[in-house]
A = this chain, B = another copy of it.
Amino acid sequence: MTDRVFNFSPGPAVLPLSVLQQVRQDMIALPGVGCSILEISHRGAAFLDILARAKADLVELLRIPDNYRILFLQGGSRLQFSMVPINLLRGASQPADYIVTGSWGSKAVLEAKHEGEVRAVWDGAGSNYDRVPSSHESFVNQEAPYLHFTSNETIQGVQFRREPAAGQVPLVCDASSDFLSRPIPVERYGLIYACAQKNAGPSGVTIVVIREDLLDRSSHQLPGYLSYRKHVQEDSLYNTPPTFGVYVVGLVARWLLDETGGLGRMDEINQQKAKQLYDVLDNSEGFYHGHAQLACRSRMNVTFRLPSDELEQMFLQQAHERKLHNLKGHRSVGGIRASIYNAMPFEGVTALRDFMQEFRDTH
Contacts and interface: CB of A to CB of B under 8 A. Distances in A.
Interface string A218-233: 0001111110000000
B13 A39 contact: yes
A351 B51 CA distance: 32
Nearest to A7: B35
A42 interface: yes
A71 to B, nearest CB: 13
A13 to B, nearest CB: 6
Interface in A264-288: none
A95 interface: no
B203 A243 contact: yes
Contacts of A40: 9, 12
Contact of A74 (B11, B238, B242): B242
Nearest to A222: B114
A198 to B, nearest CB: 10
Contacts of A223: 79, 81-82, 86, 111, 114-115
Contact of A78 (B10, B28, B238): B238
Contacts of A29: 1, 3-4
Interface string A7-24: 101111111010011011
Contact of A15 (B1, B5, B39, B221): B39
Interface in A92-130: 110-111, 114-115
A240 interface: yes
A141 B111 CA distance: 35
Interface in A179-216: 195, 197, 202-205
Interface residues of A, number: 67
Nearest to A32: B3
A167 to B, nearest CB: 29
State the number of copies, please.
2
Contact of A44 (B9, B197, B203): B9
Nearest to A242: B204
A17 to B, nearest CB: 7
A29 B323 CA distance: 13
Contacts of A76: 74, 225, 239-240
A38 interface: yes
A36 interface: yes
Q: A13, A15, A27, A40: which has the most chain B beta carbons within 10 Å?
A: A27
A77 interface: yes
A91 to B, nearest CB: 15
Contacts of A27: 20, 23-24, 27
13 contacts: A1-B29, A3-B29, A5-B34, A13-B39, A14-B39, A20-B27, A20-B36, A77-B239, A82-B224, A114-B221, A202-B244, A204-B243, A244-B244
Given A38-B202, A114-B221, A197-B240, 12 more contacts: A3-B29, A4-B35, A10-B41, A12-B243, A14-B35, A24-B24, A44-B326, A74-B74, A77-B239, A78-B224, A79-B225, A81-B224
